[in-house]
Amino acid sequence: MAGGASGLGEATARALHARGAQVTIADLNAEKGEALAAELGERAAFAPCDVTDEAQVAAAVEQAAPTGLRISVCCAGVGWAERTVSKNGPHQLLPFETVLRINLIGTFNVLRFAAAAMNALDPLDSGERGVCVNTASIAAYDGQIGQIAYSASKGGIVGLTLPAARDMASRGIRVVTIAPGTFDTPLLGALPQEARDELGKAIPFPQRLGDPAEFAALAVHITENQMINGETIRLDGALRMPPR
């Protein structure tokens, strides 16, 4: 469970654990990750993990592998707000590279190591070895002003979903992406309640921010429904983001 110490990742870790899964919470935030693992107790462990670091991702997957890694969920990600060109000149290159490295390359890092671990397992009676669930965003489709780095990174995750699923179809490994809309996560937690309410009102129905538990419920359903494969599912209450 990459990025499993807070937000969407934490909710998914809780949901999978509640259904009997052995959960490895892989995250940069050791304090939150260890606290969550301790709270969940049996069948939960923490693994320090920077998704851009090959060795750390490999170690986290290795830690999860002895129990049979069948489910990988990646929720790790960051944002950055900057226009392509502003009064200060062109968009800075380093933030753009950083966002792509964490969001896109980090997701691919988790995907490739997790899938390799699944590939080493015997298939279940259904022929399935495992499922990889990635996290994009509706910004992949409706990127707003100043979201060029974030949108490009999330668009890349959408783009890799089908070819990755096709790559691993013969091995019985599914790849599915969730593209959430505006959710009540720590990223929005710093906003005043009035601003959070306004964001919720922009959603056609239900007119509120998404609950991380709703993301988790979809992630769990994906793990249970073998026919969902190679697809990106929008989870946004019919929201289509305006330019700003």
Residue-by-residue DSSP string for 182-200: SB-SHHHHTS-HHHHHHHH
Q: Tell me the domain boundaries of the chain.
A: 45-235
Two structure tokens written together for 82: 């900057």
- Quick check: is 141 catalytic? no
As a whole number of angstroms, the distance between CA 159 and CA 131 comes to 17
Q: Answer for the pair 237, 203: CB distance below 8 angstroms, yes or no.
A: yes
Residue-level pLDDT at 190: 66
Specify the pairing of strand 89-90 against strand 44-48. unpaired
Catalytic residue (one of 80, 113, 150, 215)? 150
Bridge partners (DSSP) of residue 82 are 147
Residue 43 and residue 45: Cα distance in Å, rounded? 7
**pLDDT score recorded for residue 88:** 93
pLDDT digits (tens), the chain, 244 positions = 999 999 999 999 999 999 999 999 999 999 999 999 999 999 999 999 999 999 999 999 999 999 899 999 999 999 999 999 999 999 999 999 999 999 999 999 999 999 999 999 999 999 999 999 999 999 999 999 999 999 999 999 999 999 999 999 999 999 999 999 999 988 777 678 888 888 899 999 999 999 999 999 999 999 999 999 999 999 999 999 999 8
Q: What is the DSSP letter of 123?
A: P
What's the pLDDT at 95? 97
Token digits for 215? Answer: 């993301």
How high is the pLDDT of residue 31? 97
Instruction: Name residues whose C-beta falls within 8 Å of residue 111's C-beta, 6 or more positions apart in sequence.
Output: 72, 74, 132, 134, 160, 164, 175
What is the pTM (predicted TM-score) of this model? Answer: 0.95
DSSP 8-state code for residue 2: B
Strand duo 89-90 + 85-86: pairing: antiparallel
Residues 95/70, Cβ–Cβ less than 8 Å: no
Q: Which is nearest to 114 in space by CA: 161, 158, 59? A: 59
Which pLDDT does position 39 carry in this prediction? 97
Q: What angle do CA 103, 105, 106 make, to 5 degrees?
A: 60
Length of the chain in terms of residues written = 244
45-235: CATH class: alpha beta
Cβ within 8 Å of residue 195, ≥6 positions away:
none
**E strands of the chain, at which residues?**
23-27, 44-48, 71-74, 85-86, 89-90, 130-135, 173-180, 232-235
User: Residue 130: CB partners within 8 Å, gap ≥ 6?
Assistant: 69, 70, 71, 72, 114, 115, 118, 121, 172, 173, 174
